Copies of this chain bind each other. A is one copy, B any other.
Amino acid sequence: MTDTKSRLIQATLSTLREEGLAAASARTIAARAGTNQALVFYHFGTVNELLEASSNHAVDESVGRYREAFAGAESLAELLDIGRELHDSERRNGNVALMAQLMSGAHQDPVLARASQYAMSAWTREITLVLDRVLTASPIADLIDTEGLAHIISAAFIGLELYDGVDPTGAARALDTLEGLTQLLDVVNRLGPVARRALRSELGTTTQRGPRHH
């Protein structure tokens, strides 16, 4: 990748992270990259295709950086520790805010939609893999769809990040409470076989509703 292309990508990432989607024009990005506005179109075709290339680059880098840590997790408690660290670092570097900005623009633009989908699939794929491994032979694995849970986790992080931009105190409180909830899940996860059977039969009585259709 040429120097100019990668400078444009880095400039795009910092623009999205610091100023948001609305400020990410060819001119503002080129200024940050110390280059000319016309090069955005020469190298990437359109502005949104530059945003897509930048997002894909950032996602690949982030997912790769955490794949190793995920692979080392052997229990739900360990995974929670890694998840907390991951969330903290991704928020600090602005990647969660970046995804939230992209997703909000995806509603009307197919290129941004494709970029958002790439990012969400990359994360949920990794999260599903580690959840499947960690929750093997756990009562939770019987009761809950791990891929569905991975989707919930990704979506909740996006929502909390947006919320944090609006009410940091409330968002921090939500994160603390979320930690309590995952500990509750961890307790269920470590139940003995007797309690496990009781829980399953108890859930059976509350799961008499049919599947939902959206």
Are B155 and A174 neighbours in the complex by a CB distance under 8 Å?
yes
Q: Is A179 an interface residue (CB 8 A)?
A: yes
Are B105 and A166 neighbours in the complex by a CB distance under 8 Å?
no
If the complex has contacts A163-B158, A212-B179, are A173 and B151 also in contact, measured as CB distance less than 8 A? Answer: yes
State in angstroms the CA–CA spacing of A183 and B151 once bound together: 18
Count of chain A residues near B, Cβ 8 A? 68
Contacts of A100 in B (CB 8 A): 104, 162
If the complex has contacts A22-B105, A187-B203, are A155 and B171 also in contact, measured as CB distance less than 8 A? Answer: yes
Q: For residues 176 through 204 of chain A, which have their beta carbon under 8 Å from a beta carbon of chain B?
A: 176-181, 183-184, 186-188, 199, 202-203
Q: Is A101 an interface residue (CB 8 A)?
A: yes
State in angstroms the CA–CA spacing of A120 and B100 once bound together: 17
